[in-house]
Amino acid sequence: MKFSLKRFISSVLAVSFTVGTAGLLCSCRRGFGADAEGKVKVVATIFPMYDFAQKIGGDKVAVKMLIPAGTEPHEWEPSTNDMLMLEEADLFVYNGAGMEPWAEDVLGSVKNKDLVALEASKDVTLLKTAEVHDMEDVHDHEEEHDEEEHEHHHHGEYDPHVWLSPKNAEAEMEAIAEALIAIDEANADIYRKNLEDAKKQCEDLDSAFREALKPYEGGHIVVAHEAYGYLCREYGLKQIGIEGVSADQEPDAARMREIIDKVNEYGIKCIFFEELVDPKVAQTIADEAGCKTQALSPLDGLSKEDIDSGRDYFSVMQDNLKALVAAFE
């Protein structure tokens, strides 16, 4: 065979590309590193689960967050590396209530027999999606949303954003503590102590919300998507969601008008948007009704920068409270 320079060059390129890509893939492999040795290995699905597990476990656990910030949890699928991580883990914490519809499938295919799976929301009284809506306001939309939920995410029935009420957060942390104690008896006292601290913080947060929002009981908030059902129920607010329970739907023109009319009718002064989603719809409504916009975090995705800079459940919730109060003032 004749030596072909072209062929030679292309094979060199192909080989180096393959090696380079493989290298890149290896370098970004997520897993429990060496510093996880001797700790309880926890895999948590979304940020609140990650944060709660961290708070209860302290330095006795190594926690990994499965779903990267900004990814829609319903649509996320585990990669092979994620599966490897689960094979290594001791505890898998997921929110449940329909937030991670893929969780059961994934657990079914994990061979790790020692893995404990915990649905953190198991002790929370769940709200049906229909109840999430402000009944008198969005009558004809309920059915529609329910339908869409079934179509898109199969979760439909319950509102999964339980952690947005501090009381529910407390319940979730209790469940996590229970699970950790069962796995790691030796450090039970530490977990109990951490839980006590966290509970105290939850109670403080709860009373701060109750006190600050008391004057605005029965008030309406306009939010990007209807994630605040538990928070509203707890503190006597009513939410008007621009979009349904999931954040990925385009609003229709009639819904926009309905919301604008309501904003004018109730004299609402602020439209809430979520930082991780383009605020264009909130902005359009705000422009139309002449009000301002403000970020309100549903906490399901916290940006990496925020996590790195030490933001946690409590600090974000405090910000949310400030935003809510500012909206009513």
List residues binding another protein (CB under 8 A). 24, 28, 68-70, 72, 140, 144, 247-248, 250-257, 260, 276-278, 280-281, 283-285, 287-288, 301-305
Nearer to another protein, 6 or 280 (CB): 280
C-alpha distances (whole Å) from 301 to each of 43, 162, 232 are 16, 14, 20
Least Å distance between CB 289 and another protein? Answer: 10
| Cα 281 from Cα 277, distance rounded (Å) | 10
Of 234, 225, 236, nearest to 138 (Cα)? 225
Of 200 and 304, the one with the shorter C-beta distance to another protein is: 304
Nearest residue (CB) to another protein, 219 versus 241: 241
Six-digit token string for 69: 């910030």
Contact in structure between 157 and 128 (CB atoms under 8 Å): yes
- In DSSP terms, 272 is beta-bridged to 294
Task: In angstroms, give the least distance from the CB of 70 to another protein.
Answer: 3
Rounded Cα distance between 327 and 268, Å, is 8
Closest contact distance (angstroms) between CB of 25 and another protein is 8
Q: Give the 3-state secondary structure of residue 65.
A: strand
Minimum separation from the CB atom of position 255 to another protein (A): 6
Give the number of other Cβ atoms within 10 Å of residue 24's Cβ.
9
- Comparing CB distances to another protein, the nearer of 105 and 248 is 248
Residue type, 299: L
**Of the two residues 144 and 185, which places its CB atom closer to another protein in the complex?**
144
Give the nearest distance from C-beta 187 to another protein in angstroms.
32
Give 155 or 255: the residue with its C-beta nearer to another protein.
255
Q: In whole angstroms, how close is the CB of 223 to another protein at the nearest point?
A: 15
Number of neighbouring beta carbons within 10 Å of residue 218: 7
Could you tell me whether strands 61-65 and 91-94 are parallel, antiparallel, or unpaired per DSSP bridges? unpaired
Q: State the pairing for strand pair 292-295/270-273.
A: parallel
Q: Which residues contact 278 (CB under 8 A, 6 or more apart)?
A: none
| Minimum gap (Å) between residue 69 Cβ and another protein | 4
Pick the closer one to another protein by CB: 46 or 202: 46
CA separation for the pair 316, 296 (Å, rounded): 9
